[in-house]
Amino acid sequence: MGCEQKVFSKLKNLTVQVILAIILGIIVGYLYPAFGAQLKVLADIFIKLIKMVIPPVVFFTVVIGIASMGDLKKVGRIGGKALIYFEIVTTFALAIGIVVVNLLKPGVGFDKSAAGTGDITKYTKEAAEHTGVMDFLMGIIPDNVVGAMAKGELLPILFFAVLFGLALAAMGSTAKPVINLFEKLAQGFFGVVNMIMRFSPIAAFGAMAYTIGKFGLDSLLNLGKLMGSVYLTMFLFIIVVLGLIAKMYKFSIFSFIKYIREEILLVLGTSSSESALPSLMKRLENYGCGKSVVGLVVPTGYSFNLDGTSIYLSMAAIFIAQAYGIDLTIWQELTLLGILMVTSKGAAGVTGSGFVTLAATLAAFPMIPVEGMALLLGVDRFMSEARAITNLIGNGVATVVISKTEGEFHPGKKPETLAEADDESDAAAASTSLA
């Protein structure tokens, strides 16, 4: 009887549910590919539900984070530290991707006829909007705030939230009623997130069934070397680069990954790091990071600290060059690195954003044919999972680092109301990881 209760208790755990859903999705997609391919709608519905609450969650948390600090110098200091950290780490990610793809050469001798050509018109059309530094800078400023909220455009929302937060901070104690109202509204939206998250196993099942049913296991063979190279590079980046950063700031990357395991599994199932944004913010607060730091660093990181996307972009661009027999000089690769440093910023954390950003990069670097993107269409979904997970872990590590440098890291805090914070062992894991 006790054993049955223990099993039932485990099945109620969201982590277990997501793992079982992913396994079941793979089985259904493999055995019934036509049916599995139709289940993408389950993941699409879930991601739409999450995207529905992202704009207000980001707006309220950033405003509260900045306004609660009061000290405008502190806001500038945290923001400056975060942006410098993001630029250094993402440049590292881009450089590592370029080095590994040049060493392993997955594109050399690639049979281009084996991959579907696909239709890349929509990607090149979207890429036109992402090309150029001035276009990028102009895109940060919204035509109107309500429109940016309605479209879910993260960068313009972030920009306005920072300005609004600074305005409230300058008002001092008179802004307290507004801040209190925003805190209550934020709690309400996190309550909506908690409700939506209960459906995450269904979304993970649908996404995996679609992926396997649509592309099959055999479709991975032709592009397996590139996929293997991307996964290896991201693994090394997380363990070596982020691991060393974590060690420098006296916490364990392995314990931290274990602590955010539910968010990682959710991203694995949905291929979208944005699906875990609200719960990651709450999880980091429970881990010990200051609320104001989380509110500022995490949403900013989702636009400026996309480590996984950076690795993917650099490797995919040179893979296409290798597949077409284009031998880039060291200076051309350094030029490509410089372009990627611009185009990799501001990509949203949703499925397919890396593909659009790649199109923007190739449009600005005519040495590599844009049509070569068709080679990646079949397996982009598989690689999007790896880059989304890397983005998630990278933003989590960044938040802990900035919290520690600000003296706003207090491990062992009691878990709050997030439904996914299933038991107090998670909070204990945060404190025991500081070794």
pLDDT in tens, 354-408: 666 777 677 667 788 877 776 676 566 667 778 888 989 999 999 999 999 988 8
User: pLDDT tier at 299 (50, 70, 90 boundaries)?
Assistant: confident
* Top-confidence residue, 8 or 244: 244
User: pLDDT tier at 326 (50, 70, 90 boundaries)?
Assistant: confident
Q: Which pLDDT score is estimated for 412?
A: 65
The CA-atom distances, in angstroms, between 58 and each of 45, 172, 186, 247, 429 are 20, 22, 9, 29, 27
pLDDT at 247 over 60: yes
Q: Which pLDDT score is estimated for 397?
A: 94
Q: Say which residues have a Cβ less than 8 Å from residue 409's Cβ, sequence separation at least 6.
A: 288, 289, 290, 400, 403
Average pLDDT over residues 325-347: 77
* Top-confidence residue, 347 or 62: 62
pLDDT at 10 over 60: no
User: pLDDT tier at 200 (50, 70, 90 boundaries)?
Assistant: confident
The C-alpha atoms of residue 43 and residue 41 are separated, in whole angstroms, by 5
pLDDT in tens, 33-91: 888 888 888 878 887 787 787 788 778 877 887 777 666 677 778 878 888 898 889 88
pLDDT at 263 over 60: yes
Burial class (CB in 10 A: 0-12, 13-18, 19+), 272: buried
pLDDT at 332 over 80: yes
pLDDT at 427 over 50: no
pLDDT at 128 over 70: no
Radius of gyration of the chain (CA): 21
Average pLDDT over residues 201-212: 81
pLDDT at 349 over 50: no
User: pLDDT tier at 417 (50, 70, 90 boundaries)?
Assistant: very low
Mean pLDDT of all residues belonging to the chain: 76
Burial class (CB in 10 A: 0-12, 13-18, 19+), 147: exposed
pLDDT at 435 over 50: no
Q: Record the tokens describing residue 40, joined without a space.
A: 């993408």
Q: Which pLDDT score is estimated for 245?
A: 94
Q: Which pLDDT score is estimated for 351?
A: 46
Q: Which pLDDT score is estimated for 139?
A: 67
